[in-house]
Amino acid sequence: MTGISRHATRRPVSRSTERRAPSAAVVEPLSAHDQLVAIKSSLETISEALNAIDPETLSNSEHAKWADEVNQVDLAIARVRSSLLNGIAEAFEAEMPSIRASTARLEKDLSRLRKAVDVINAIAGVLGVVEQIIRLGR
Amino acid sequence: MRFYFTFLSMLALALLTGCATVSVERARNVSSAGVAYAQATAGVIDVAMNASIDASSERQVRSKPRPPVSESDQALRAAGLKELDSELARNVVTYVRLKRSVNAVEAYFEALQQLADGSTAEATETAVKSLADRINGLNSALEKSEGAKPLISDEKKTAIGGLAKLVAKQAHGALLARALERDAATVGRALALQELVLKAASDDIRANLNDAAARFYTDRIVSPYAAGNIGAAWVEDRRSYLKAHAIGNTTETISAAEAAARQMQTVWERILSGEYSAKELVASLKDTEELLGAVAALKDANAKK
């Protein structure tokens, strides 16, 4: 999952941090994620080419071979998709506790903001009651 | 005196903390873009789930065996379909997991939107004015004189209320600014992952469309042409294929999601870099102007005491 992590942390890095990175072009090896994307894309290109063949123009043996290739490519695409999506899902799910904690903090912030007004109103209310008691006692 | 000193300290703090309107507008922008982005991504996931299954089904239909199919071949085909279907089912389950994560990101932006819209400035002004009324009432009750001069004059009450409103506005803005700074890294990572989800889902939709276009071109344009079997329908088909091919066959759902992703990137990059636009700068000057005006009003009210 290192590939996904590299992608995921790329954006929040501050500009100053980016500036500290070596300026020379460093060729990074393709991450597992990038490799899966590339393989899936190649398989999809093959699928497109196989779909462009008119089955009616093929002999029986050619048709059997072509159909077998279509099936293999179909299964391969589904398998690569599984690995690809699973990698992203795992990385995303690892971030969920932080996201949920941030959401909860925002909700708490909103509640604190509202509480401040409630406190002022409560004090005003208490003073009002005290005033009434004093006037009644006269 | 101590009361006013507290207010002025808060005011100074507010001025240092930054510009409320800018922070609120920024939070509103980022939250509405975030919600739109998450919704668009979830929409693309829904389409991609169908597209990935349909693409496989279309491949199976096109490559169906020529009859007769022997019993052993039928058994092989059934086993192959079972294997393929279990993989496709796994794809759907994973897409649902991804959608759940995208929904959690949407919930974050909805909470941010509620906080951005949750200013208590007006309510604080009303509450502080009401508190001043109560203090006057209590003072008059304690003094035992109904017609006594109020402790806090109407003019001063309005000034204090106005200042309280602005302080509350600043506090709201500072709260949002702090929240954005606090969550920048977490949300940044989530957005980067969401972008990968969008890309993967969009690729599935595009692959299905490309397969369909390849079949359409072969079956409806090339084959009839080669056989000399062409007419009005062929003219229509050829035009629609060539136009779609030239313009690009991206669906509306993908286009909307990609546009939302671009907007999100722009807004988030500005949040992270802390850049100010000319519009934001004017808004921040207006904030400062309002605060200075409120302090002057309070000073005037005190001078007339």
* pLDDT digit string, tens, across residues B57-79: 999 999 999 999 999 999 999 99
Confidence category of residue B27, pLDDT binned at 50, 70, 90 = confident
Chain A partners within 8 Å of B171 (Cβ) = 113, 116
pLDDT(A138) > 70: no
Q: Which of B185-189, B234-238, B292-296 has the lowest mean pLDDT?
A: B292-296
Q: Taking the CB of residue B144, how many other CB atoms lie within 10 A of it?
A: 10
Q: Which of B163-177, B178-192, B212-226, B249-263 has the lowest mean pLDDT?
A: B249-263
Nearest to B80 among A64, A71, A135 (CB): A71
CB-based contact B184 A135, cutoff 8 Å: no
CB-based contact B56 A40, cutoff 8 Å: no
Handedness of CA B176, B178, B181, B184 (dihedral sign): negative
pLDDT(B55) > 80: yes
Nearest CA-CA distance, residue B260 and chain A, Å: 17
Q: Higher confidence at residue B18 or residue B180?
A: B180
Q: Which amino acid is at B114?
A: Q
Q: Within 13 Å, how many C-alpha atoms sit on residue A13's CB side? A: 13
pLDDT digits (tens, 9 = 90+) for A26-76: 555 669 999 999 999 999 999 999 999 999 999 999 999 999 999 999 999
Assess contact for B222 and A54: CB atoms under 8 A: yes
Rounded CA gap, B3 and B135, in Å? 14
pLDDT(A13) > 70: no
Nearest CA-CA distance, residue B190 and chain A, Å: 7
A3 closest CA partner among A74, A84, A122, A59:
A84
Question: Mean pLDDT of all residues in chain B?
Answer: 83
Chain B partners within 8 Å of A78 (Cβ) = 52, 56, 84, 87-88, 91
Q: What is the pLDDT of residue B148?
A: 66
Q: Which residues have a Cβ under 8 Å from the Cβ of A112 and sit 6 or more positions away?
A: none
Chain B partners within 8 Å of A88 (Cβ) = 98, 193, 196-197, 200
CB-based contact B95 A131, cutoff 8 Å: no
CB-based contact A98 B186, cutoff 8 Å: yes
Rounded percentage of chain B residues whose pLDDT exceeds 90: 38
Assess contact for B120 and A113: CB atoms under 8 A: yes
Element at A59 (helix H, strand E):
none
Chain B partners within 8 Å of A71 (Cβ) = 59-60, 63, 80, 84
Chain A partners within 8 Å of B58 (Cβ) = 51
Long-range contacts of B79-83 (CB under 8 A, 24+ apart): B80/A71, B80/A75, B83/A75
Residue of A nearest to B133 (CA): A124
Across the range B133-152, mean pLDDT stands at 77
Confidence category of residue A89, pLDDT binned at 50, 70, 90 = very high
Nearest to B124 among A57, A102, A120 (CB): A120
Residue of A nearest to B170 (CA): A113
Residue of B nearest to A43 (CA): B207
Q: What is the pLDDT of residue B164?
A: 87
Q: What is the ipTM of this complex?
A: 0.78
Chain A partners within 8 Å of B142 (Cβ) = 134
Tokens of A23: 């300026």
Q: Which of A56-60, A66-70, B22-26, B263-267 has the lowest mean pLDDT?
A: B263-267
Highest mean pLDDT among A21-25, A51-55, B172-176, B266-270: A51-55
Across the range B82-88, mean pLDDT stands at 98
Q: What is the pLDDT of residue B211?
A: 93
Rounded CA gap, B2 and A118, in Å? 23
Q: What is the pLDDT of residue B29?
A: 82
Question: Mean pLDDT of all residues in chain A?
Answer: 82
Q: Which of B52-66, B120-134, B261-275 has the lowest mean pLDDT?
A: B261-275
Q: What is the pLDDT of residue B51?
A: 93
Q: Higher confidence at residue B159 or residue B84?
A: B84
pLDDT(B44) > 70: yes
CB-based contact B196 A81, cutoff 8 Å: no
Across the range B9-23, mean pLDDT stands at 60
CB-based contact A88 B200, cutoff 8 Å: yes
Considering the entire predicted model, what is its pTM?
A: 0.78
B33 closest CA partner among B217, B246, B265:
B265
Rounded CA gap, B29 and B109, in Å? 10
Q: Taking the CB of residue A76, how many other CB atoms lie within 10 A of it?
A: 17
B30 closest CA partner among B173, B187, B240:
B187
Across the range B108-121, mean pLDDT stands at 92
Q: What is the pLDDT of residue A19?
A: 40
Rounded CA gap, A61 and B83, in Å? 25
Assess contact for A54 and B62: CB atoms under 8 A: no
CB-based contact B94 A89, cutoff 8 Å: yes
ω before B224 within 30° of 0 (cis)? no
Q: What is the pLDDT of residue B8?
A: 54
CB-based contact A99 B108, cutoff 8 Å: yes
- Cβ-based contacts under 8 A for chains A and B: 233
Q: What is the pLDDT of residue B218?
A: 96
Residue of B nearest to A91 (CA): B193
Confidence category of residue B6, pLDDT binned at 50, 70, 90 = low
Highest mean pLDDT among A8-12, A99-103, A118-122: A99-103
